[in-house]
């Protein structure tokens, strides 16, 4: 995080309720992640309050539709959750392990075949020849 970001976040007043919600929801996350999330929530609250104040010039129905569309747009932007990333990584690791085991089996089988071929070649080479 740059100094400019830190300075701009430090000027944001964060509500105690927002603090509590984010701290409980993001247990184990870094302070930077928590701080950015808190600042985002506060910015959304301020924006919603400003929109509500300016709604006096709009019909209530138009305002409700605009807020609904904004919410749907925000919800529509799906973020990859940590659980999904961890699950994907676990699947990748399982596939790697399975492929590694298959590779080891193939190499072992190839080694046995080389041994068998070498043994057959040696036996053919050293086999007594008819004299004649």
With a cut of 70, list the residues of the chain below it in pLDDT: 1-11, 52-60, 76-82, 132
Question: Which positions ≥6 away from 42 have C-beta within 8 Å?
Answer: 12, 13, 14, 15, 18
My answer on whether 103 and 60 are in the same domain is no
Please report the pLDDT score of residue 115 as a whole number: 92
Percent of the chain with pLDDT over 70: 77
What's the domain count of the chain?
2
Whether residue 47 is found in the same domain as residue 109: no
> Is the CA virtual torsion 55, 35, 37, 5 positive or negative?
positive
pLDDT reported for residue 1:
46
Single out the residue in 79, 102, 120 at which a domain terminates. 79
Q: CB of 45 within 8 A of CB of 67?
A: no
State residue 132's pLDDT score.
Answer: 65
Identify the CA nearest to 35 among candidates 11, 53, 69.
Answer: 11
| Range(s) of the domain holding residue 75 | 1-79
Give the C-alpha separation, 102 to 96, whole Å. Answer: 10
């Amino acid at each position: 995080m740059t100094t400019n970001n830190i300075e701009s976040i430090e000027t944001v007043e964060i509500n105690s309720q927002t603090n509590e919600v984010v701290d409980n929801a993001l247990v184990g996350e870094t302070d930077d992640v928590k701080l950015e999330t808190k600042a985002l929530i506060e910015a959304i609250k301020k924006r919603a309050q400003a929109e509500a104040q300016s709604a006096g010039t709009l019909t209530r129905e138009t305002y409700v539709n605009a807020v609904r569309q904004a919410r749907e747009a925000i919800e529509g932007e799906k973020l990859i959750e940590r659980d999904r990333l961890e699950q994907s990584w676990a699947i990748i690791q399982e596939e790697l392990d399975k492929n590694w085991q298959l590779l080891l089996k193939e190499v072992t089988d190839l080694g046995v075949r080389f041994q068998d071929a070498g043994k057959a070649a040696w036996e053919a080479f050293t086999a007594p020849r008819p004299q004649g």
